[in-house]
Amino acid sequence: MCGIICYTGKKKVIPILMDGLKRLEYRGYDSAGLAVVENGKTFMVKSKGKVSSLEAKLSDSSSEATFGIAHTRWATHGKPSEINAHPQFGCNNKVSVVHNGIIENYLEIKEELIEKGHEFTSDTDTEVIAHLIEQNFNGDLERAVLKSIEKLDGAFGIAAIHSDVDHKIVVVKRGSPIIIGIGENEYFAASDSTALAPYTNQMIYLSDDEMAVLNSTEYYIKNLSNEVLKKKVEFVDSDIYTNDKKGFEHFMLKEIFEQPETIENAFRGRIIESEGVSKLGGLEPVIDRLKNMKKLIIISCGTSYYSGLIGRYIFEELTELNVETEVASEFRYRKLKLDKNVAVLAISQSGETADTLAALKEAKRKGALLLGIVNGVGTSIPQLTDAGVYNHAGPEIGVASTKIYTSQLVILTLIALLIGRYQGMSFTEGKEIINAIKKLPDQIREILSNAKMIKEIALKYSVYNDFLYIGRLFNFPTAMEGALKLKEISYIHAEGYAAGEMKHGPISLIDENFPTVAIATDDLVLEKILSNMEEIKARDGKILAITNEGEKKVKKIADDIIAVPRTLPLLQPILNVIPLQLFAYYIADEKGCNIDKPRNLAKSVTVE
């Protein structure tokens, strides 16, 4: 993986491909490359490192080519290098392929092809695709691709061209996103609609095991049985894809400051205040089934997993459901007892997370009701699930998730409120939750107004190399998310722990050089976490506390405090995480880290 952009039409292709690659940079990558065809010959340029390095190599190019493919790679098989960058090609340099995903049986295929005389130059699994297409090519690229993918096991989004086939691009999706863009006598393909936004607002989202064939005058879509399909063309508001920092130094900081608006977007039009209930149109088709469910399993990865952990507490508080939260990558390996009385809720920023998709497919096989919370419209998870809710938060460019996390927490609360009002929750309780949700945007604005103070505290703590984050109840997952943010963007070692578990191991690490971030806001476990803080102070540990205004007991123990407004305990994590996001950001900025594109990380994880 990570980013694909393709074009066939009348315009010079290299500027379009380079613009697409730049728009895909936010996804995280380690090399880039492109292949274009002109006068029956392939022109390929690849570079390790940033897209700017590739651009420099192309500065003297006078190519007039009008079709080609390009890619930003995040290494899976083989180290980041020019030879391992995509596109990959066959022995005769006529077939060029870009690929997101993983080919699980590539070694077996590679050995077969070597026996047939093929010579490989890279360490990638992708190269076998190019050699397979070359092996199967007899003048018909479409047929060669179809025949080749019959042998592939794994997940992939593939785009292929051949120098003997003018202006034709063949793309295939299985588990990794591919989107078709439709222009006037020009067609595009990409792994992310962001890359297509400047050129068209007409897009088709391929489903698994679908192939699109593009040339400069037409396109058509088939299934892998070679049957032509009619797919709905989506009209996408391209304005939401404007990659503008709006005066902020980094996208991450911009997205932290966008949270009052993204939270408003999460609940706008989704609450009926007069009835103390939420209204979620995306769940209406399954509401009769959903309100009678006995069990809910939340599956997700990374930051979305931590929002799912808080979601478990929220659903337990507001509904009568038996709730579990599972890491999606482990879910399908368990002996699962799922049936029509179990709902499985997938949470994913991108809507393409490979592990979450694989877990959903396993749940579908066993008859569970499939639900989703996704930001990416038209992506794979919404296509697979029975119903769901979109974040409508706009693109999140920073690799480390911020605004989507808090949006997810609001939507989880709205879903729990909807179910809870069909069960034992009273109107008064529902109204109280709605009132608290409506106050969140202004409360976040209040926290953001103190960003300068939070920055001063962050600079004070930026000298440390290790951190412990602790919390209890709703704020145990908040501690883990705070630690994750610091790890992701500053590369500082940080651990998030349930505060009660601290004495069962982590306290051995505490000394004057190992500070603790304690989330100590006003709830029924405040006294417990105060005791944990005392244990840390007794061992000379420094403490930064996230607490509410006027919490005098916390102030007596902590070395530094960041105060946040009060809300209902189940919503308090939404406010508590804002200073943790800013704290991580300012430390990373002080250390000179690449905040929007942290090393080794990708925004959309489309491999298992």
Instruction: Decide: helix, strand or coil at residue 16.
Output: helix
Element (H, E) at 154: strand 154-162
Q: What are the angstrom distances between the C-alpha of 249 and each of 49, 124, 245, 319?
A: 22, 36, 7, 42
Read off the DSSP letter of residue 562.
Answer: E
Q: Measured between alpha carbons, how far is 102 from 313 in angstroms, rounded to an integer?
A: 35
CB–CB of 180/170 below 8 Å? no
| Catalytic pick among 2, 6, 301, 593 | 2
DSSP string, 503-520: GGTGGGG-STTS-EEEE-
In angstroms, rounded to a whole number, what is the distance separating the alpha carbons of residues 308 and 556?
Answer: 33
Q: Which of 22, 50, 254, 603 is catalytic?
A: 603
Cα end-to-end distance, the chain, whole Å: 11
Cβ atoms 465, 437 nearer than 8 A: no
Q: Please name the residue that has the structure tokens 């009002």.
A: 421
Residues contacting 111, CB < 8 A, separation 6+:
none
Contact 143, 150 (CB under 8 A): no
In single-letter form, the type of residue at position 372 comes to: G
Rg value, the chain, Cα:
25
Burial of 556 (0-12, 13-18, 19+ CB in 10 A): exposed
Is-contact 604 28, C-beta < 8 A? no
CB atoms within 10 A of CB 475: 30
How many residues does this entry show for the chain? 608
C-alpha dihedral (204, 210, 215, 216), degrees to nearest 10: 0
> Annotated catalytic, 173?
no
- Which residues, 6+ apart, have CB-to-CB distance to 147 below 8 Å? 136
Strand 228-229 vs strand 234-235: parallel, antiparallel, or unpaired? unpaired
**Is 2 among the catalytic positions?**
yes
Rounded Cα distance between 574 and 408, Å, is 10
Strand partners, 240: none
Report the catalytic residues.
Answer: 2, 603
